[in-house]
Amino acid sequence: MATLFLMVGQPGSGKTTRARELEREHAAIRMSPDEWMKPLFGVSDMDGRRDVLEGRLIWTASQVLRLGNNAILDFGLWGRDERAGLHWLAGSLGATVQTVFVPVDPGTQLEHVQQRFVDDPSGTWEMDAATLDRWRAVFQKPGPEELDGSWRPEPPAGYASWLDWLSDRWSTSLI
């Protein structure tokens, strides 16, 4: 059975390093918007284009899963609704989901993002402690039910289904 791996964590946590390991271990296709945004636009988000790109990567992952192969979304996925919608999507395609949470303490995180910028300034963005603190404040850590695969939440208020929510959040994911 195909598996969708959801990489969850903050910048500098080691998500991409772990995703690359999973890519090799599971013969998976890994998709990372960061690897597309900088070459295409030079910035992390350009007028909402990141959401458009993420939607297309989700669509591509769906095609990979339909073919019976494994896919990795190396997005960070800070929100529970994002992860829940993707859990639903994978299930609707007959695939399993593995949420891979990569935690990081603030000191290590800052060290990692600073070193990454020194090592590869053309492949990443400069981040400071204040920015990381703001991002950490909005990050929703996955609960045990997400990590063990038993999670089946209802769609958020105002949405009749996860399909409706996905259509609104990542409009290009279902085209």
Model pTM score = 0.91
Q: How far is CA 171 from CA 42, 51, 84, 85, 99, in A?
A: 23, 8, 16, 13, 22
Residues 6+ apart with CB under 8 A from 128: none
Give the model's confidence band at 27: pLDDT under 50 very low, under 70 low, under 90 confident, else very high: very high
Q: For the segment 30-60, what is each residue's pLDDT rounded down to a tens digit?
A: 999 888 877 777 766 666 788 888 999 999 9
Beta bridge partners of 19: none
Q: Tell me which of 82 and 48 has the higher pLDDT.
A: 82
Give the model's confidence band at 175: pLDDT under 50 very low, under 70 low, under 90 confident, else very high: confident
Beta bridge partners of 70: 28
Q: For the segment 100-150, what is each residue's pLDDT rounded down to a tens digit?
A: 999 999 888 888 888 877 877 666 777 888 989 899 999 999 999 999 988
Question: Which of 15-19, 33-37, 59-63, 81-85 has the lowest average pLDDT?
Answer: 33-37
Q: How far apart are CA 132 and CA 40, in angstroms?
A: 24
